[in-house]
Structures are given as C-alpha cells and as structure tokens.
C-alpha cells in the first residue's frame, strides 16, 4: 500500500531541485521479475479460459477448504467456497459494475480472500484459481486492487485497462472491424474503412470528433478530452486505489480519501471547463430535477455484444415512475448533506453529533458525500451520486433480471469508472456535487493576510514561454479483445496485432521563469495554477469566482537563497503528471527480455497510473490565442503529516500533490478576493495565451505516416 502515498521529498537539494530521472529509476531483483511476468499473464485475454499449462494445473487443483489455514481471513474463504458451490456469482461473459450492491459484495469477498493470503505463493495460486472461475471483468478489477495494496506486490505494475479490455475505450464499429481483420486477415483490408498496414500490424484510424453516430450532441467538439483513453483510465485507476467498498482498516490506506475525492473532481471540472471554453461552448449546464437537454450515445458495446444504454436528448427525469422515485431519493439525500452543512455537524451511526466547522473536516465531508465505506454514517448520508449516474445513464429499468439471485445489469457509461468521463452528464453531476463543497467552504473564514503571506519573499516577475498545443496521433493495441486461434492458444502468444490510431491533445515543452527576492534563505513550496481569464460570453471572471476554476498544474519545493533568485521550471520536469505508461505489450517485452538475460528491467517511477497524463497538462486554447491567468504562489514549506503517509518509499498516488501538510489546492481551496491579496507579495498573477496550432506547424511531422 506504500505506493499509495508520497516519496518525492528526497528530490530536494540545497539551492534547487535535483535531477528527478536518476532518483526515479531503479532495478528490481529476480523475484520481482518472476512475479511480474506471471501476474501479467493473468491479464492475457481474460475473456478466455487459462491457456498456460502451469496455471491450468493450479486452477484445477487448488483447494480453498484444505488450505484455509493459509489465509488470515477464514470468513472470506468460507464465503468464496459457498458462492462458487452455489453458483452465487456474476456469470462470466456479462457486464459487471461495482455500483451494483450484489456485484460489490462479491468483489469485496474476493479482495478479502486475496489480501489475506499469508504468503505470496498463496496469493498467486488463489489469483490463478479465481481467474478460471469468476467473471473476467470482476477478476481484473479485484486483482488490480489487491496488487496495489498488498505489501509484497508494491513493485508490480498492472497493465493499462485499455490494453486489457479495449472495448471500454473504442466504439463498436472499431471493435467489429478488428474482429473481421482477425477472421479474414489482411486480404480484405481494402474493404475496411480507414485501415492500413504498419510494421506488420493492422492499424484502424479513428477520429473521435468526426464519428457520425454520436448524433452531433453539443459536447462532441470537446470529445478529444472527454474520450481521451488515458484520462478515462486514470479515473478507473483512482477507483482501484480508493474503491468505495474498501475500508481503510482493510488495507493500508493512510491518505485523506475524502479530501482527495473533492480535490480530484475540482481539478477535473476546472479542466473540463477550460476545454469547453477553448472550443467555444458555453458554461457547464446546470443539473436540475426535471429535464436533461443533452443526450449521449457512446457507441460502445460490451464484449457479449450488448450495447450501452443511450440517453436521448431532452430526457424528462420524472417521466417514468421509477425515474421519479429515484429523483425523490436524490433530493432527500442531497438535502441531508445541505442540512448537515448548515447545522455545522453530522450525525454518526450511533447518534453522536460531530462538528464539521474546521478546515480539516474537508476529509470527512468528502467521505460523507461520496458515501464510501469510510463514511461515518453511510446508512443516513446515502450515495446519491450513483443514483444520479443510473438516472442520467438511462439504465434504470422497471424490473431487473437476475441469474440465480445475481442481478444481470447493463450499466451505462456513467456506471463504469473507465467510461464515465466520456458522458457530459458526469460533469453536470460533479458541478452539482461541488456546489455542496462550496456551500461548506462558505462557512469557513477567509484566509488572512498572515496565512497567505511569506515574510521577506517577493515575486518580482514571471516569464512564460509561448504556450503551444497541437494534436498528435497515438496507437492503442486492441488485440487482447480478439479471440486466439488454435496456434496462438497452444503457444500462448498473439501472432498479430490490431492497433487503433487516435488523435490526442499534446503541447510543446515550455519553461516558466520566476524572479524572486528573498530577505533570508528559506525552504518554500512553489505552486503554479492556471485559470481562464474570460467566461463563455467574454466577461472577465472575478477572482473570487475564478477561484474554483484555478487548476493546479505544478507544485514543487525549493530552497530560496538570500537575495535574488531565478526559479526556472521546465514543464518536462513536472512530477504532478505522469510520463507515458508502458503498454501491456511493452511491459511484457521488457520483463521477458530481462528474464532472458537481455538487459535490466528498470522501474520508472515517473510512470504513475494515478497521475494526469503529461500530454493533458495544458488545455487546448485557440488558434489565435486564448487568454488565461497563471497564478504563481510561493508559500512556507510545511512538512506533510506522517499520519497520512504510507510506509513504503515507492509511491504511486499523490506523491507530488501532498508535498506539504497544507490542504489540497491551497490557497484556492477557498475563495480569494482582490482585497485579500493587498500586500501579499508572494502571489503573482500573470496573463498568458495558449495557442493551438496544426501538428505539422509545431512538430514538423506529417499528419499520417504509412
């Protein structure tokens, strides 16, 4: 679980910041290599039975009852045995979602089983056993969660979810074309639209914003962001680190998960708003209780061929009885949160009244609103967000279908973490949710000049390189979705690859230079925030309103010397974002090569599945330039509270966000007014422009390379 906390403080050296590359790479021993290799194979074509002979033997012979002494949690063993014996489990080949309570119970049991294995060998054999006997989507989810949290798998990397289950990220037309290519080979490529051969791989071109079957909804121009494969994978990964069903005392979670819930969604909403402004869209629509104007057609298909539910335009929320009942529930549960905020206390499940009027209460407020299992009263402050997802996803049905007591559901994109960000309704829900947090913030006092200031530190000037964004092409491998032929089954290998070429937003590397005068040598924290300067109708956004739009784009610690300082920050050194995550095939080849004695396998700590992809650091901007405000803020360094840190140094989550003990997003976690900044010389607001240019103009690389 140590990877779920922070370790970057070691990067600091006197007078500046050390080179992060050397610090963030290291080799692993043979044991880790063997484990990485074998665990990777469990993600290989999970829709099919196990093909590796050793694993087939383990799956057939492993006896949970005879080996019950090898687990700390005997109850989980008994429950698993009973569920498998009575076939009380989500069947293989059907959709799975943790937002369905029975599905969630099953995954929590399997987590307890795997996590409580006393040795790695027991854990591995149990994982192989489950791989063969449980729903493939559930299995991949629970195995990934356990790998993130077990102490003996901290150096194990899980393959990207878009490589394991490509159909969550590419529409039905793409996946159907891929299946036809698998069947017919390359002999009929000329009959398939937008396909070509590259290095013996078949590549399917896809332009997300131009696909005609999305019904040309208002938000489609921003689908380059909402449909970004790695962004949607990020949301899924965050929910692996902090599942709503996993208690902190059932693993080693130390982080303030409620505060993270607030901060991550505030960041996401601010970024989405910038993208809307970049393409000329209006404000994020308000979500009411009567009608949702914008529909959504995902074009996605589940692996068994069932399409995702569709939300039509102008969906009337109380048209059907079961919709109206759901809306009533939402209203009741939201009002309980509002009443709690207005009264200044929440009620525990034992009836105790606990104050939420201190700034630290942001964490418990986040847990209450998300309604995760760490909520102090999940029975009273219920999960209205998931109800919103069912209503707006249009997946509510009058009568549910069950198999042996297990609900068979067809979740909408909103109900799958790996697809939720595609739907503009997600951002409408979160805008409504963040208003609850804003209501709570209004009850807090404003930051004082003393809290904001750093004595003797003055930012004199900020210079920023020209900010350029562009679209680039990248390939995703969808082969894991396709069925193996007999030769591939016997050799447990893909003999061919089908790739999907998609566009994604990227930016040119830039540098920020900050001239600072300091009266004394001082250890400080430097933050860069970005916000739009004007709203959708061209009005300059007041600072106190724009506070909620400020996006944290960089944070680092620094040693100021006495006198003049020049802080030079190159965007490629930004540790708030992640380098490109190794694909499943790249990861497998690296590990296999090291096992064969061909070089070393290096753990690259600049790859972090719980950070924003580097290519999404900047919003798109506009061809002629789009005005933004860059806020540079230098604060006193406050060491992070070890209570909220793990014990293993190789971290994955939050290892540059939580550099200090300050609240996440400080100082724009509360409204800032211009009068509050009078005499505060360690804050500097700099106007910048973001330009969007054609790819060839920025990189010199042609649009298509065949």
Q: What share of residues in the chain are helix, strand, coil (percent, to 5)? A: 40, 20, 40
The mean per-residue pLDDT over the stretch 238-257 comes to 87
- Is the model more confident about 648 or about 593? 593
The residue length of the chain stands at 706
Query: Cα–Cα distance between 305 and 291 in angstroms, integer?
Result: 30
Portion of the chain with pLDDT greater than 90, in percent: 78
| pLDDT (tens digit per residue) in 205-226 | 987 766 667 666 788 899 999 9
- Is the model more confident about 327 or about 492? 327
The mean per-residue pLDDT over the stretch 450-454 comes to 96
| pLDDT (tens digit per residue) in 54-80 | 999 999 999 999 999 999 999 999 999
- Is the model more confident about 506 or about 184? 506
The mean per-residue pLDDT over the stretch 128-149 comes to 98
Q: What is the pLDDT of residue 22?
A: 44
**Band of the pLDDT at 16, cuts 50, 70, 90?**
very low
Least confident segment among 242-256, 294-308, 422-436: 242-256
**Band of the pLDDT at 500, cuts 50, 70, 90?**
very high
Q: Which among 90, 117, 85 has a CA at the least distance from the CA of 106?
A: 90
The DSSP result for 365-390, as a single string, is: HHHHHHT-TTSTTTTTS--HHHHHHH
Is it true that the peptide bond before 633 is cis, omega within 30 degrees of 0? no
| pLDDT (tens digit per residue) in 655-701 | 446 788 899 999 999 999 999 999 999 999 999 999 999 887 777 76
The mean per-residue pLDDT over the stretch 130-139 comes to 98
Please state, in angstroms and as integers, the Cα–Cα distance from residue 257 to each residue in 440, 497, 567, following that order. Answer: 18, 39, 32
- Is the model more confident about 328 or about 11? 328
Least confident segment among 18-27, 269-278, 603-612: 18-27
* CATH T-level topology, domain 449-466+510-699: Immunoglobulin-like (2.60.40)
φ/ψ of 231, rounded to 5, equals: -65, -45
Q: Would you say residue 260 has pLDDT above 90?
A: yes
Q: What is the pLDDT of residue 660?
A: 87
Q: What is the pLDDT of residue 399?
A: 65
* CATH T-level topology, domain 217-441: di-copper center containing domain from catechol oxidase (1.10.1280)
Helix (H, G, I), strand (E, B) or coil at 190: helix
Portion of the chain with pLDDT greater than 70, in percent: 92
Owner of token pair 């080949």: 93
Q: What is the pLDDT of residue 387?
A: 96
Helix (H) or strand (E) holding 77: helix 74-85
Query: Cα–Cα distance between 102 and 85 in angstroms, integer?
Result: 17
Q: Would you say residue 13 has pLDDT above 80?
A: no
**Band of the pLDDT at 577, cuts 50, 70, 90?**
very high
Q: What is the pLDDT of residue 490?
A: 82
The mean per-residue pLDDT over the stretch 319-330 comes to 90
Owner of token pair 């799956």: 59
Q: Would you say residue 650 has pLDDT above 70?
A: no
The mean per-residue pLDDT over the stretch 323-347 comes to 96
**CA dihedral angle for residue 448, residue 450, residue 456, residue 459, rounded to 10 degrees:** -20
**If you average pLDDT over each of 21-35, 429-443, 483-497, 595-609, which comes out highest?**
429-443
Q: Would you say residue 397 has pLDDT above 80?
A: no
Q: Which CATH superfamily is domain 29-154 in?
A: Hemocyanin, N-terminal domain (1.20.1370.10)
- Residue boundaries of the structural domains of the chain: 29-154, 172-210+471-507, 217-441, 449-466+510-699
Q: What is the mean pLDDT of the chain?
A: 90
Can you list the positions of beta strands (E) in 109-212?
Answer: 195-198, 201-206
Q: What is the pLDDT of residue 215?
A: 64
């Amino acid at each position: 679980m140590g990877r779920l906390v922070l370790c970057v403080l070691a990067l600091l050296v006197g007078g500046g910041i050390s080179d992060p590359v050397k610090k963030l790479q290291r080799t692993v021993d043979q044991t880790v290599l063997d484990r990485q290799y074998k665990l990777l194979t469990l993600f290989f074509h999970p829709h099919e039975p196990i093909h590796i002979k050793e694993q087939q033997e383990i799956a057939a012979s492993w006896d949970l009852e005879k080996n019950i002494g090898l687990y700390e949690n005997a109850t989980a063993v008994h429950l698993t045995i009973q569920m498998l014996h009575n076939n009380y489990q989500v069947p293989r080949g059907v959709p799975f979602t943790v937002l369905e309570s029975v599905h969630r119970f099953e995954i929590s049991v399997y987590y307890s089983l795997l996590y409580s294995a006393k040795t790695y060998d027991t854990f591995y054999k149990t994982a192989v056993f489950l791989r063969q006997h449980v729903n493939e989507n559930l299995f991949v989810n629970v195995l990934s969660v356990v790998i993130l949290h077990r102490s003996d798998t901290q150096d194990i990397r899980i393959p990207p979810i878009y490589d394991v289950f490509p159909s969550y990220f590419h529409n039905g037309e793409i996946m159907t074309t891929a299946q036809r290519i698998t069947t017919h080979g390359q002999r009929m490529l000329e009959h398939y639209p937008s396909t070509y051969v590259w290095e013996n791989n078949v590549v399917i071109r896809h332009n997300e914003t131009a696909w005609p079957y999305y019904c040309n909804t208002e938000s489609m121009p921003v689908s380059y962001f909402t449909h970004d494969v790695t962004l949607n994978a990020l949301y899924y990964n965050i929910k692996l680190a902090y599942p709503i069903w996993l208690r902190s005392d059932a693993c080693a979670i130390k982080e303030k998960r409620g505060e993270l819930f607030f901060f991550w969604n505030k960041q996401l909403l601010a970024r989405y708003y910038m993208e809307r402004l970049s393409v000329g869209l209006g404000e994020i629509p308000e979500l009411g209780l009567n009608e949702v104007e914008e529909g959504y057609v995902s074009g996605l298909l589940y692996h068994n061929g069932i399409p995702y539910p569709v939300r039509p335009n102008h969906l009337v929320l109380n048209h059907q009885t079961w919709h109206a009942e759901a809306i009533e529930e939402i209203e009741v549960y939201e009002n309980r949160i509002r009443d709690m905020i207005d009264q200044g206390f929440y009620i525990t499940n034992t009836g105790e009244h606990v104050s939420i009027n201190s700034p630290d209460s942001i964490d418990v407020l986040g847990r209450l609103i998300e309604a995760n299992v760490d909520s102090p009263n999940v029975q009273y402050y219920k999960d209205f967000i998931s109800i919103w997802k069912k209503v707006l996803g249009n997946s509510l049905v009058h009568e549910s279908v069950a198999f042996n007591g297990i609900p068979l559901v067809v979740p909408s994109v909103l109900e799958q973490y790996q697809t939720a960000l595609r739907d503009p309704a997600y951002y409408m829900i979160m805008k409504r949710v963040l208003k609850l947090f804003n209501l709570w913030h209004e009850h807090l006092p404003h930051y004082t000049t003393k809290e904001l200031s750093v004595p003797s530190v003055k930012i004199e000037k900020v210079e920023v390189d020209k900010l350029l964004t562009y679209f680039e092409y990248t390939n995703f491998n969808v082969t894991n979705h396709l069925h193996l032929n007999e030769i591939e089954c016997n050799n447990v290998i893909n003999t061919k690859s089908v790739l999907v070429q998609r566009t994604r937003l990227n930016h040119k590397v830039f540098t920020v230079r900050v001239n600072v005068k300091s009266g004394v040598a001082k250890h400080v924290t430097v933050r860069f925030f970005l916000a739009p300067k004007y709203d959708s109708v061209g009005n300059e956004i007041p600072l106190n309103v724009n506070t909620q739009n400020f996006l944290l784009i960089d944070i680092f610690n620094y040693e100021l010397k006495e006198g003049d300082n020049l802080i030079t920050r190159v965007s490629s050194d930004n540790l708030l974002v992640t380098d490109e995550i190794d694909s499943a095939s790249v990861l497998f080849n690296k590990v296999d090569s090291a096992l064969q004695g061909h070089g070393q396998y290096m753990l690259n700590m600049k790859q972090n599945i719980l950070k924003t992809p580097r290519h999404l650091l900047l919003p798109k901007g506009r061809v002629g330039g789009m005005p933004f405000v860059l806020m540079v803020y230098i604060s006193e360094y406050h060491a992070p509270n070890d209570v909220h840190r793990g014990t293993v140094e190789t971290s994955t989550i939050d290892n540059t966000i939580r550099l200090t003990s300050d609240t996440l997003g400080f100082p724009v976690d509360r409204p800032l007014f211009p009068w509050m900044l009078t005499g505060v010389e360690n804050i500097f607001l700099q106007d910048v422009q973001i330009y969007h240019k054609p790819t060839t103009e920025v990189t010199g690389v042609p649009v298509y390379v065949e």
